[in-house]
Amino acid sequence: MKPIMVLKFGGSSVADNNKLKIVADKIIDLYDKNNNIVVILSAQGKTTDKLIKEAKELSNQNNNRELDALISAGEQISIAKLSILLNYLGYKAISLTGWQAGIYTSKNNQNAIIKYINTSRILQELSEDKIVIIAGFQGFNEDMDITTLGRRRL
């Protein structure tokens, strides 16, 4: 099996479509050097902050389960866009949410901790020579609820 490279790109790296194209070029360069590529991707720019702000405008009550469902959408947008772009450029790519990638977490909404990762789906996609793009910041818990990992505040 080819070496597996895991790449992580934060929100500022994929803030708009032009930056997404730069990221795609970096991924393609490494893929073309006979590597398996797994990409962990954040939401674009300030998407998560925007979604949190909009939720607070609707309600000041903490509903961390629903907030996790909402803010996880930012990463899903990014991974789908990158997969669409890579496929358009002629590279087989697939986007996976946290649960599709097998990222099992604790039940702590807004501050979940990864308990384990079932890598079988990731390895299956890599065996088909796909670039695997995984939503960062998210997983799922024993109740099959979306969870988000803690955010580092500066």
In a domain, 129, yes or no: yes
pLDDT value at residue 1: 74
Q: Is residue 154 included in any domain, yes or no? A: no
In a domain, 110, yes or no: yes
HSE-CB at 19 with a 13 A cutoff on CA atoms is 14
Question: What is the structure's pLDDT at 152?
Answer: 57
Tally of domains in the chain: 1
Place of tokens 């299956």: 124
Structural domain boundaries, residue 48: 4-148
All residue ranges of the chain with pLDDT < 70 are 151-154
Q: For residue 154, what pLDDT is reported?
A: 39
Q: What is the pLDDT of residues 78-98, one digit of tens each?
A: 999 999 999 999 999 999 999
Provide the mean pLDDT of the chain: 95
CATH value at residue 68: 3.40.1160.10
- What is the number of other CB atoms lying within 10 angstroms of the CB of residue 94? 19
CA nearest neighbour of 150 among 71, 66, 44: 71
pLDDT of 62 reads 81
Query: pLDDT value at position 150?
Result: 80
